[in-house]
Amino acid sequence: MALLCGALGAAVALLATRQRWSEGTATVAGGAFPLTAKGSDVTGVPAALAIVGLAALVAVFAVRRAGRFAVAALLALCGAGTIAAALLGASDSSALDEKAAQAAGDTSATVDALSHTAWPYVAAAGGVLILLAGLLALRYGRLWPAMSGRYERGAARPRRTAPSTDPDRPEDLWKALDRGEDPTGA
């Protein structure tokens, strides 16, 4: 459930930041000029935190114990940050004011008839799903299986000793070669 929530939340947040968040008109010498701002123009924080959340979501399953707790906390913080940044960007007009200043050639130009879309709230909903994934990982992560340590270095396993090679038996020579040994060495 946490994996599904986190992946879906990150996808929704990334999709929402590519959509139009606000629109308005700038008054220039020739009349009114329509302007739009995508979520990435307003703030890049939700998209960045969604990507970090995806990485943390994968890492939750790769680490154990304290590492899992730390990565799950990072995942929850990514969700909370995505929510906060999206909600703060929902009423932000600075990106459109900047575009109006560029269009008019006047640094004091602002946007008139400003309106906002629902996409910032969709990004916040994606942040809620990422936050939920982080909270689920914090609560139940210790019960989830971890990646195997079977191939990790430093495991105290007894080394197998190679059977002795009889130089008069060709099959023993071939088996020694298969093991990576030099059958001619004394």
- The domain limits of the chain are 2-146
Single out the residue of 46, 33, 40, 13 nearest to residue 95, CA to CA. 40
Residue 21 has pLDDT above 60, yes or no: yes
Q: What angle do CA 92, 56, 138 make, to 5 degrees?
A: 100
Amino acid identity, position 75? L
Alpha carbon 73 to chain centroid distance?
A: 14
Which CATH number is 2-146 given? Answer: 1.20.140
Q: How confident is the model at residue 141 (pLDDT cuts 50, 70, 90)?
A: confident
For residue range 65-107, what is the model confidence (pLDDT) as tens digits?
A: 888 899 999 999 999 999 999 999 988 888 888 877 877 777 7
Residue 136 has pLDDT above 90, yes or no: yes
- Average pLDDT rounded to a whole number, residues 117-125: 95
pLDDT for res 149: 61
Residue 153 has pLDDT above 80, yes or no: no
What average pLDDT does the structure give for the chain?
A: 84
User: Is pLDDT larger for residue 14 or for residue 182?
Assistant: 14
How far apart, in whole angstroms, are the C-alpha atoms of residue 2 and residue 8? 10
Residue 178 has pLDDT above 90, yes or no: no
Q: How confident is the model at residue 172 (pLDDT cuts 50, 70, 90)?
A: confident
**Among 84-88, 135-139, 160-164, which stretch is predicted with the lowest mean pLDDT?**
160-164
Please enumerate in sequence order all residues whose Cβ is within 8 A of that of 134, keeping only pairs 6 or more positions apart, or say none: 6, 53, 56, 72, 73, 74, 75, 76, 77, 78, 79
Residues forming a β-bridge with 27:
32
Q: What angle do CA 71, 77, 82 make, to 5 degrees?
A: 130
User: Is pLDDT larger for residue 173 or for residue 44?
Assistant: 44
DSSP class of residue 164 equals P
Q: How confident is the model at residue 186 (pLDDT cuts 50, 70, 90)?
A: low
pLDDT for res 122: 96
